[in-house]
Chain A
Amino acid sequence: MADAQVYVEDVEPGEEIPEIVERCTPRQLVMWAAASGDFYEIHYDVEYARSIGLPGLVVHGALKNAFLGHLLYRWVAPAGRIVRYGCSYRGLDYPGNDLRCRGKVTGISARDGEDLVDLDIWIEDPSGEVTTPGTATVSLPSRRGARR
């Protein structure tokens, strides 16, 4: 990414990382279905989605997870790495909505020679409701050079 490398010394608990905003189109959901192999009809067949009580097409949970993975990747690249990340799908999201993908540093520690940063990560819908809360741990390089 164009932004400069983030080092562990640069971050503090409570700090937010640069957010990304994703607005899915039905076309993107079909591209995701092909890329991920998830062909559940609620993601591209609006009649089917409505027939089982949904208001319309629904954004794949795993695509939201991938957005959060991208959010983390952009922040740690190129020298950092994602150690773990995960999220729960508490609320549905719909194509056409702006989905804000955000993260906040919750802790910094060192383990096995790596500088680790814990984060809360989440996606919120246009009403500000957190539909997709999660947590992550990433490894960041150090300005001391004692890394990885």
Chain B
Amino acid sequence: MTGLVTPELEALVGTAWPPVVHEVDRTGIRMWARAVGIDDPIFHDEAAAREAGYERLPAPPGFMGVPRRMPGDDEPGPPIRGLHPDLTRSLNGGTEYEYRSAVMAGDELVASTTISDVKERSGSVGPMLLITRETTYRRGDDIVAILRATVINY
């Protein structure tokens, strides 16, 4: 192999980033639903959501709210690009969500991210670095969802 996984990158595995609050609000839910093309009224109209048995607008699959950031804050979570000086481009490698309970408007989810894997592969775009991170979203002490996401640097 090409030795892309340097000791510094290896050492990232298991590293936890400071938790970030994700605000799940009605506008964010509607924007997400509209962008995906989800026209089911329960994601847009609170009366329709209540009629379907939800107290508040439910979040569409994959929407975990918007990270709360102040001016000057770094991007939340671990860096996803520029992890190796020779690899300037990046692509999304994969996304997996595991749900323990429903996400709803009004939730403030605390997202904790750890880099769970760093490996290299050779693909159609040449040598690639695959960095996988795991984010756990909690409401209070309860785990609501877990996201596993892989980014490719190439």
Contact = CB atoms under 8 A, between A and B. Distances in A.
Interface in B66-111: 66-67, 88-99, 102
B34 A85 contact: no
A86 B94 contact: yes
B91 to A, nearest CB: 7
B35 interface: yes
B98 A62 contact: no
Contact of B96 (A53, A70, A78, A86): A86
Interface of B: 28, 31-32, 34-38, 40, 42, 52-53, 60-62, 66-67, 88-99, 102, 148, 150
Contacts of A53: 89
Contacts, number: 97
Contact of B97 (A28, A36, A70, A84): A84
Interface secondary structure of B, over-half rule: mixed
B57 to A, nearest CB: 14
A83 B94 contact: no
Interface string A71-109: 011100110011111111100100000000000000000
A62 B94 CA distance: 8
Given A34-B35, A36-B32, A89 B96 contact: no
Contact of B92 (A60, A69, A81): A60
A48 B15 CA distance: 32
A18 to B, nearest CB: 14
Contacts of B62: 62, 65-66, 69
Contacts of A78: 42, 52-53
B60 A86 contact: no
A89 B94 contact: yes
Given A31-B35, A35-B34, A72-B61, A77 B99 contact: no
A84 B100 CA distance: 9
Contacts of A88: 93-94, 150
Given A32-B36, A88-B93, 14 more contacts: A28-B37, A32-B35, A34-B31, A65-B62, A66-B32, A66-B60, A67-B36, A69-B60, A70-B38, A70-B61, A73-B61, A83-B98, A83-B99, A86-B148
Most buried by B among A37, A72, A77: A37
Query: Which 5 A-B pairs give the minimum distances between C-beta atoms?
Result: A86-B96, A69-B61, A61-B92, A88-B94, A31-B35
